[in-house]
C-alpha cells in the first residue's frame, strides 16, 4: 500500500466516525464535534494530496487546508453560539426534544 493510500484510508475512517457521531448522538454539542471531525478528515486528505501530488511547490493543497481550518473555526464559533442560544430558549440541548424552530 502506498503512503498516500494509507493517509486516505485514515481520513475516510475518521470521516465515517465523525459522520456516525453527527448522526447518532442526541447532544447538539456532540453533533458539532462530529462535524469538526469530518472537516478535519477532509483537511488530512488535502494535505496528503499536496504532499504526494506532482507539484508540492505550488502550495495549492496546503493553502486549501489553511483556509479550510479558518472557515472551520468560524463555523465552530457560530455553531456553539447557536447551541448556547437554543439552550437558553428551550433549556435542553437534546436534539430529540428540539423539534420546532419557533422560539
Partner 1 sequence: MTPVFYILAALTLAGGLAAVTLRNTVHCALALTVAFAGLALLFLQLGAQFAGFAQILVYVGAVAILVVFAILLTRTSDAPETGVFSKTWLTGLVIAAAVFAVLGWAVLRTAPMLPQSSPASAVTVQQIGTALMGRYVLPLEIVALLLTAALIGAVIVAMHEKEDAK
Give yes or no for residue 18 binding partner 1 (CB under 8 A): yes
Q: Which DSSP string do the residues of 39-72 spell out, in sequence order?
A: HHHHHHHHHHHHHHSS-GGG-HHHHHHHHHHHHH
Grid cell, residue 35, equals: 462535524
Give yes or no for residue 98 binding partner 1 (CB under 8 A): no
76-97 burial, b at 16+ Cβ within 10 Å, e below that, comes to eeebeeebeebeeeeeebeeee
Residues of span 75-94 touching partner 1 by CB under 8 A: 75-78, 80-85, 87-88, 93-94
Q: Among residues 101 and 103, whose Cβ is nearest to partner 1?
A: 103
* Partner residues linked to 94 by β-bridges: 27
Q: How far is the CB of 58 from partner 1 (least distance, A)?
A: 9
Give yes or no for residue 35 binding partner 1 (CB under 8 A): no
Q: How far is the CB of 81 from partner 1 (least distance, A)?
A: 4
Q: Choose, by CB under 8 A, the member of 42, 69, 99, 102 that binds partner 1.
A: 69
Amino acid at each position: 500500500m502506498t503512503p498516500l493510500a494509507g493517509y486516505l484510508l485514515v481520513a475516510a475512517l475518521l470521516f465515517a466516525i465523525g459522520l456516525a457521531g453527527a448522526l447518532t448522538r442526541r447532544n447538539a454539542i456532540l453533533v458539532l464535534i462530529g462535524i469538526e471531525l469530518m472537516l478535519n478528515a477532509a483537511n488530512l486528505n488535502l494535505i496528503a494530496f499536496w504532499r504526494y501530488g506532482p507539484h508540492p511547490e505550488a502550495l495549492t493543497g496546503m493553502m486549501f487546508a489553511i483556509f479550510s481550518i479558518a472557515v472551520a473555526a468560524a463555523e465552530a464559533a457560530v455553531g456553539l453560539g447557536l447551541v448556547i442560544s437554543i439552550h437558553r430558549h428551550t433549556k435542553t440541548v437534546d436534539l430529540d426534544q428540539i423539534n420546532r424552530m419557533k422560539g
